Amino acid sequence: MLSHRTCHSYYVNVVTSATGPTALLTMSTLHILVTSSHSSFHYGSTSTITLVIGALGWIHENSHDDSTGVHTYSASLSLMSAIALLIISEALLFVTVLWVVILHLVTTSALMDSSIACAAVHAYADNSSHRLLTVANALTAINTATLVCSSVTVVLGVHTITRSIQCHGILMLAITIVLATGFAAVQCVEYLHLYWTLCSSSTTGLLYVVTGIHGAHVLVGCIAITMYMITVTHWHVYAYATCTTLHLLVGIVGYWHLVDIIWLCVVVTVYWVTITL
């Protein structure tokens, strides 16, 4: 009974004295960053730097807690549940956005309103519009293949790291980041080749909104994978997988697979269906 109380006291002390202040600093900085970006972005750069430093400190402290056995099974289960709820909430967000896109496409198709194909036809002659849509389809296919390959590499990286093959795991994660960066670059090239803008029509506005939200999630995934690489290389933790150290692995892989699945849904609903209509 005494040993149980001692372990429990040690766990509470570590969480409240070490992880608590860093977590509060990170969350308050994130709140300031979101608030400033909504109004005038006065404290944007300072808040961004503080947010990155606080997030790194928070991850370092949680990694140390995992490696020293401070996190119990119930604590790790709670963290995995929180990550699962985060992934579910992001999935529901995109379900809502894509449902709005589907309703808009059905409405505009019934009213013979503007769509992406109609905008291209009105903007160019027949040959030019065909060439424009061919370029858009090619870039979309490249992005789809890039994200599918990145999902494979992130799984291989996590698998090799859990089997204590650290160098190969870091290489796979680095390839994943390169593929994600290539995805963002191809998306920017696609924006440059589009004739219409955000204000051209409601349909093209939805195109920019949906792809922009997905691109932001790709950026968040890249940051998470980069922090995970820093955790593995510099702090030498997560070299094995147990029930108390699996939540970060599951969170990164699950989030990245969510980004991949969402992109496939975006391709079907925003690109193929819109061009078909």
Mark whether 86 and 64 lie in a shared domain. Answer: no
Distance from C-alpha of 51 to C-alpha of 166, rounded to nearest angstrom: 28
Residue ending a domain, choose from 35, 53, 70: 70
pLDDT at 276: 47
Mark whether 91 and 51 lie in a shared domain. Answer: no
- Split at pLDDT 50, 70, 90, the class of 2 is very low
Mark whether 62 and 13 lie in a shared domain. Answer: yes
pLDDT at 231: 73
Read off the tokens for 87.
């992934």
Mark whether 59 and 80 lie in a shared domain. Answer: no
Domain membership of residue 199 as a residue range: 74-276
Cα angle for residues 16, 21, 27 (degrees, 5° grid): 120
Mark whether 162 and 263 lie in a shared domain. Answer: yes
Mark whether 34 and 154 lie in a shared domain. Answer: no
CATH number at residue 246: 1.20.120.80
Mean pLDDT of the chain: 69
Mark whether 99 and 58 lie in a shared domain. Answer: no
Count of structural domains, the chain: 2
Mark whether 165 and 241 lie in a shared domain. Answer: yes
Q: Can you tell me the mean pLDDT for 249-277?
A: 79
- Top-confidence residue, 274 or 272: 272
Q: Assess contact for 144 and 267: CB atoms under 8 A.
A: yes
Residues 211-236: tens digit of each pLDDT: 888 888 898 888 888 877 877 776 55
pLDDT at 178: 92
Q: Assess contact for 123 and 195: CB atoms under 8 A.
A: yes
Mark whether 38 and 151 lie in a shared domain. Answer: no
Model pTM above 0.75: no
Residue 132: count of CB within 10 angstroms of its CB: 20
Q: Can you tell me the mean pLDDT for 92-121?
A: 66
Residue 70: count of CB within 10 angstroms of its CB: 20
pLDDT at 165: 72
Name every residue whose Cβ is closer than 8 Å to that of residue 33 and which is 6 or more positions away in sequence: 43, 44, 47, 48, 51
